[in-house]
Amino acid sequence: MDFKDEGIYEWITADYLFGTIKASTPPDTPAYAILYLGGASTQIVSKPIFASSDMQLEEGEHKYNLQFGGRNHVLYQHSYLGYGLMCAWRHVHRLVNFMSTLQGTKAKAVVDNLCLAKGTWRVMTFKDEGTLGLLRCVIGWCKSANSNHAPQRRRLTLPPLLLPKRTTRQVCQGHDEWLWNHWGTGSELMAELADRPEWHLDLTFMHALLRLGYEFEDGREAAIGKKIQGMELGWCLGAMIAMVGGEMKCWI
């Protein structure tokens, strides 16, 4: 399966569980968009709602026609390979290491990393691969995120989104802040925070991706979760629904 298809199946999973694309769903029911952040890529899939009936999505690889539930859904989809969470870890840690070498830091040294929570640490091993790849990666995101094919926000209906800025600030403060002011009674959460210093980096990257990459305003709200009606979100359920239903046709 092409990695681009994962986003389509994830969209089917979410909107099927929300009841927006079933055969019994009223025709004018708006569908939910999905923003998926994996380890290697981030994906967006939405069903655009345009201001005028004579407006439509331009042709191209971003356009996906989906026949499902007896109806045709014209979707916008794009996968940004190389901008997943694990890729972000690797690029940021490499950059921190590179900047430390400019200051004359020797091998096996302790280096300050502002992308880790206060008082936490992580042992990292690096190979000297230069900075050209990092520069190319940053330029590539600027070009792809500004694609002319992406529907303008004023013409596109997306679900509300709450950017994790406040949570990021709380996580950044470190163990004492977690314990005394926020999550001291949650032993499992405290253990997870202590075991994964990159939680601060994760949330910062998510905020930057949504705010700068997808250009969402800070005031947007959303429900974020891993399950709907007790069912795990992901592409597997969407693929199974498509296969069992036997009525899905897709073409680009």
Q: Three-class SS of residue 237? A: helix
Q: Is 42 annotated as a binding residue?
A: yes
The CA distance from 48 to 158, in Å, is: 8
Residue 100 lies in a domain: no
Apex 40 CA angle, 240 and 171, nearest 5: 105
In a domain, 164, yes or no: yes
Whether 208 has a binding-site annotation, put simply, is no
The whole-model pTM stands at 0.69
Please check whether residue 68 lies inside any domain of the structure.
Answer: yes
Instruction: Give residue 48's region: left, alpha or beta (phi > 0; psi -120 to 50).
Output: beta
| Alpha-carbon gap, residue 79 to 44, rounded angstroms | 7
Q: Does 93 reside within a domain?
A: no
Residues with a known catalytic role? 6
Instruction: Tell me the C-alpha distance between 251 and 176, whole Å.
Output: 53
CA distance 84 to 81: 7
In a domain, 175, yes or no: yes
* Residue 116 covered by a domain: no
User: Is 219 labeled as ligand-binding?
Assistant: no
| Per-residue confidence in pLDDT tens, the chain, 252 aa | 666 678 888 888 888 888 888 888 888 888 888 888 888 888 889 888 877 777 888 888 888 888 887 888 889 988 888 888 888 888 888 887 777 777 776 767 777 777 777 777 777 776 665 554 444 444 444 444 444 445 544 333 334 344 466 777 777 777 777 777 777 777 787 787 777 777 778 888 887 888 888 887 767 765 567 777 777 788 788 888 777 764 555 555
We report the CATH number of the domain holding residue 239 as 3.30.420
User: Looking at the 3D structure of the chain, how many domains does it have?
Assistant: 1
Quote the CA–CA distance of 33 and 14 in Å, as a whole number. 9
Query: By residue range, what is the domain housing residue 192?
Result: 3-85+139-251
